């Protein structure tokens, strides 16, 4: 778990801000659920045999003797809230997004943390492929807005309760034949939850899985039609994808569509999946809620920020002005000037320690402020001062009453001239 400090946080705010704005355009409203939930919620939805529930949860008993877990993902808490507030009685289709920390006890490395952040969305109430396509379109537009390139959409269908049993049976039969090549975990998973073997990170298990039966060959007619429909719609939307029949994702609740967005950037190492999701038409009912189909995804904010950092773009906004004080007697006037300019919408830096003009000018330089204004007795008496451009060039004479106006005009001129 780590601290995020100014200097880096602007990247996070940029990503979060884009998500809020863009998801809003698609009609998604934000939900905030508690950091901790009843442990049973995750066991019953994410699945007991998944790495997340089996190995990675921060689980503890509270003082009332209840078992709680820090949320390892956002889909189950959102579903719990949807059920608890009987949202299905209020509207037929619901679009929610969330962002915030998730907790998994994993081995720390680049792009993998114990407290990490997700931005995710859930659409409840439509079982149609159009909903899946719309959601992927939203992710594609989001990655586009972030100017992240080289991200591939991987697509698969896991079938439903009608066709998955046949695939399961075939998979188990195949895995039995390769039992000795599997890791100890997978030997167990084979009995309890064979799909999980396909998600094992062990290279030998992956090799076994790769040569196993292809889930797409087992899809029943309605699942096949849904998958075909989805691909057609992605093509209509101009979204490129690859079909990957080995992709199952690390959670148990998926039916039919699953997808992942994978970045090919060396900065991420093996943590190259920036986001993923899928359809979970049976989960609500399984949690004791209404029979409502749903589809959702979650993006790893940490990994998006890593990629953005690699792009070298910066999102910090330096102060518009540094107010320096020429003499002891002008200290209060400078404090008041800074206050007024901030009220007028400007970013103003001011050294509250006072000190020599020379040391203040050093601070001004360091602050990255575009202009410095020195306030002394002369300026106070005349009501006139000078805006000194820190990048060099001639000082601009300005009436103390017009500082905000002049600086705003300068800001505008820079914005129109484009980035330097």
> Which positions touch ligand ATP (CB under 6 A)?
73, 104, 106, 111-113, 116, 118, 249-250, 271, 273-276, 298, 300, 302-303
Q: 11 vs 321, which CB is nearer to ligand ATP?
A: 11
Q: 116 vs 124, which CB is nearer to ligand ATP?
A: 116
Q: Give min distance, CB of 43 to ligand ATP, in A.
A: 16
**In this structure, what are the phi and psi dihedrals at residue 273, rounded to the nearest 5 degrees?**
-80, 110
d(CA 123, CA 134): 10
Q: Give min distance, CB of 370 to ligand ATP, in A.
A: 37
Q: Give min distance, CB of 301 to ligand ATP, in A.
A: 8
* Closest residue to ligand ATP: CB criterion: 300
Q: 75 vs 372, which CB is nearer to ligand ATP?
A: 75
Tell the residue number behind the tokens 């999946």, with chain if given: 273
Q: Give min distance, CB of 271 to ligand ATP, in A.
A: 5
Positive/negative CA dihedral, 31, 36, 38, 42: positive
DSSP-assigned beta bridge partners for residue 95: 123
Q: 77 vs 275, which CB is nearer to ligand ATP?
A: 275
Q: Give min distance, CB of 306 to ligand ATP, in A.
A: 9
Cα atoms in the 13 Å half-sphere on the side-chain side of 296: 31
Assess contact for 263 and 148: CB atoms under 8 A.
Answer: yes
Is 21 exposed, middle or buried, given 0-12, 13-18 or 19+ CB atoms closer than 10 A?
Answer: exposed
Q: 280 vs 322, which CB is nearer to ligand ATP?
A: 280
Residues contacting 316, CB < 8 A, separation 6+: 7, 10, 368
Q: Give min distance, CB of 277 to ligand ATP, in A.
A: 7
Q: Give min distance, CB of 399 to ligand ATP, in A.
A: 53
Strand ranges inside 107-150, DSSP E: 115-124
Tell the residue number behind the tokens 């076994």, with chain if given: 208
Tell the residue number behind the tokens 């809020």, with chain if given: 20
Assess contact for 306 and 110: CB atoms under 8 A.
Answer: yes
Assess contact for 219 and 157: CB atoms under 8 A.
Answer: yes
Q: 111 vs 376, which CB is nearer to ligand ATP?
A: 111
Q: 260 vs 320, which CB is nearer to ligand ATP?
A: 260
Helix (H) or strand (E) holding 86: none
Assess contact for 250 and 293: CB atoms under 8 A.
Answer: no
Tell the residue number behind the tokens 């507030």, with chain if given: 85
Assess contact for 349 and 319: CB atoms under 8 A.
Answer: yes
DSSP-assigned beta bridge partners for residue 387: 373, 396
Q: Give min distance, CB of 81 to ligand ATP, in A.
A: 19
Q: 307 vs 364, which CB is nearer to ligand ATP?
A: 307
């Amino acid at each position: 778990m780590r601290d995020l400090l100014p200097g880096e946080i602007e990247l996070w705010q940029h990503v979060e801000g884009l998500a809020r704005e863009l998801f809003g355009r698609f009609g998604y409203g934000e939900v905030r659920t508690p950091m901790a939930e009843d442990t049973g919620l995750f066991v019953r939805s994410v699945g007991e045999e998944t790495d997340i529930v089996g190995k990675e949860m921060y689980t503890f008993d509270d003082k009332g003797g209840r078992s709680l877990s820090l949320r390892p993902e956002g889909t189950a808490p959102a579903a719990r809230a949807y059920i608890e507030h009987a949202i299905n009685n209020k509207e037929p289709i619901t679009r929610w997004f969330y962002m915030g920390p998730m907790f998994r006890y994993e081995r720390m490395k680049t792009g993998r943390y114990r407290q990490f952040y997700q931005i995710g969305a859930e659409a409840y109430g439509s079982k149609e492929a159009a909903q899946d396509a719309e959601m992927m379109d939203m992710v594609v537009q989001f990655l586009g807005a972030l100017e992240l390139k080289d991200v591939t959409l991987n697509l698969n269908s896991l079938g439903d309760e009608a066709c998955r049993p046949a695939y399961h049976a075939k998979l188990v039969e195949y895995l039995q034949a390769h039992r000795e090549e599997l890791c100890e975990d997978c030997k167990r998973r084979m009995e309890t939850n064979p799909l999980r073997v396909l998600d094992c990170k062990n290279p030998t298990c992956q090799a076994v899985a790769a040569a196993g039966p292809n889930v797409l060959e087992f899809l029943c007619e309605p699942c096949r039609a849904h998958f075909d429909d989805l691909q057609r719609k992605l093509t209509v939307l101009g979204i490129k994808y690859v079909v990957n029949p080995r992709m199952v994702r690390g959670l148990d609740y998926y039916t039919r569509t699953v997808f992942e967005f994978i970045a090919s950037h060396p900065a991420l190492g093996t943590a190259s999946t920036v986001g993923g999701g899928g359809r979970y038409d049976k989960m609500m009912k399984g949690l004791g809620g209404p029979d409502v189909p749903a589809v959702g995804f979650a993006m790893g904010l940490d990994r998006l920020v890593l990629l953005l950092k690699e792009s070298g773009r910066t999102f910090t906004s330096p102060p518009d002005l540094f107010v320096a004080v020429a003499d002891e007697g002008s200290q209060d006037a400078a404090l008041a000037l800074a206050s007024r300019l901030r009220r007028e919408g400007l970013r103003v830096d001011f050294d509250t320690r006072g000190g020599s003009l020379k040391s203040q000018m050093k601070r001004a330089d360091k602050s990255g402020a575009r202009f410095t204004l020195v306030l002394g007795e002369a300026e106070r008496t005349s009501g006139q001062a000078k805006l000194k451009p820190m990048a060099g060039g001639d000082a601009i004479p300005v009436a103390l009453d017009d500082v905000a106006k002049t600086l705003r005009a300068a800001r505008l001129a820079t914005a129109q001239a484009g980035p330097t």
